[in-house]
Every structure is written in C-alpha cells, then in structure tokens.
Amino acid sequence: MEKKIKTLTIGVVVFSLLAVFTSCKKNSEYYNYETTANEFKGTALQYLQAQTNTFDSLLLVLDRLPDLKDSLNNQNVTVFAPTNTSFQAAIKNLNIERKAQGKSPLYLSDCNVEQLDTLTTRYILRGIKNTSDYSSYTEGLLLSSLKSGYVMHVQYNKINASGFVEGGPQSIIYSDPKNNIFTKYWQRSNTNAVNIKAKNAVINILAPLHDFGFDEFIKRVNL
C-alpha cells in the first residue's frame, strides 16, 4: 500500500512538472509569435490602406496632407496610428461645441488643413524604433515628431498576465507633453498593438479611447 502511495505521489509530481513545462512552452511560443509575426511586406502607408474599416479617417486626413502621406511611403518612421474611433470622437465633440455656438458642423474634409497637419504630424516620429528601444528607459523617452520636431513622449509598458509579473503583452504609453515638464499636464494614450513592422516603419496602433489631437482638436479647428 505504501509503495502504491509513493508511486502515485511521484506520478502526480511528474504530471505537474510536465503541465508547468507545457504551459511555459505555450506562453513562450505565444509571446514569440506576438513579437515576430507582425510583419507587413509593404510601406507604412500601404499597411494603413490594407486594414479595412480601421484607418479610413486617418487616410482621409493624409489625402489632404500630401507631404505627410508621402513620408509614410518614402521615409523611415515610427507611427502611432489612431483608428476611426479616435476621429469619430473628436468630430462628435467638435460639433457638439459648434452646435452650442450656433455654428454649422465641420468634418475632416472641411477642417483647416494647417491645423490638421500640426496635429497629425505628432503621430509620426522620426526613424524606426520598437519596444526594445524604449524598454530600458524607466521614465520613458522624449522623441521628435517628423516634420515640426515637436517633442512627444514614449514609455514602455509590460502588462502583467495571470501568474506572471510583466509576463503579458507589450504596450506603449504615448503622450503629448504639451511642452511642459510637469506630467500632470500631459495628454496620454495607450496602445492596442505594437511593433508591426513595415518596409520603412514600425507601426503601433492606439487604443480606440484615444481622442484625436491630444485634447487640442476642438480649439484648433473650431475657428
């Protein structure tokens, strides 16, 4: 009887170790997949165009900004791409404000093109960088936007997963510091996806809750 108990105990231990090993292996494969499979065989602009019903608003704005649009095909850049939802929120809030002021509604095709250029360039940074370039900077990193040199802030964030400290997916907190050293005045946004590699860029996708313009859209276009 004692021998059977010992055999059973050993069997349970071996099974547990195998389960842990298998689980770790699966997690390892999952995170390797996450960091290596996000590759697109085209330019940053072609990637945005290929994502049906995701970046239509951004592409509409870029059609009005040919220089910026061209940079997504021909320059090395890092993109923090706002989705349609981000623009919809900005336009909705703008027109609530305009209605209260007795003004007619505005849409992306109508907004002042210079103001759109000022805001949109903040989502495109010079050079190609991925999360490995930010991860060692615990306080984040200040980087220049493409055209104006306006400074944005990028901070690496590793999300905790069940049973693993910082074992979850990678994320970036992307912020507009507003030229202010005090972080309480910054406008921040999280990412939903990072490290999508294109021929000339790394693309990160901002969370849908991000409001295009980092809280400046209404005051800039409500002329």
Lowest mean pLDDT among 28-32, 67-71, 72-76, 188-192: 28-32
Token couple for 75: 């320059």
**Closest to 208 in 3D by CA, of 196, 188, 191:** 191
Q: What pLDDT is recorded for position 157? A: 87
Tell me the helix, strand and coil percentages in the chain, rounded to 5: 45, 20, 35
Segment 178-196 mean pLDDT: 95
Q: What pLDDT is recorded for position 195? A: 96
Q: What pLDDT is recorded for position 62? A: 98
Give the model confidence (pLDDT) of 103-120 as tens digits. 999 999 999 999 999 999
Burial of 202 (0-12, 13-18, 19+ CB in 10 A): buried
Q: Global pTM?
A: 0.80
Q: What pLDDT is recorded for position 6? A: 43
77 band by pLDDT with thresholds 50, 70 and 90: very high
Q: What pLDDT is recorded for position 11? A: 44
Give the model confidence (pLDDT) of 113-149 as tens digits. 999 999 999 999 999 999 999 999 999 999 999 988 8
Gap between the Cα atoms of 162 and 168, Å rounded? 8
Measure the CA dihedral 50/51/56/57, to 10°.
-120
pLDDT above 70 covers a percentage of the chain that reads 79
Lowest mean pLDDT among 1-15, 37-51, 108-122: 1-15
| DSSP-assigned beta bridge partners for residue 152 | 143
User: Is pLDDT larger for residue 66 or for residue 168?
Assistant: 66
**Which run of H or E residues covers position 18?**
helix 2-36
Mean pLDDT computed over every residue of the chain: 84
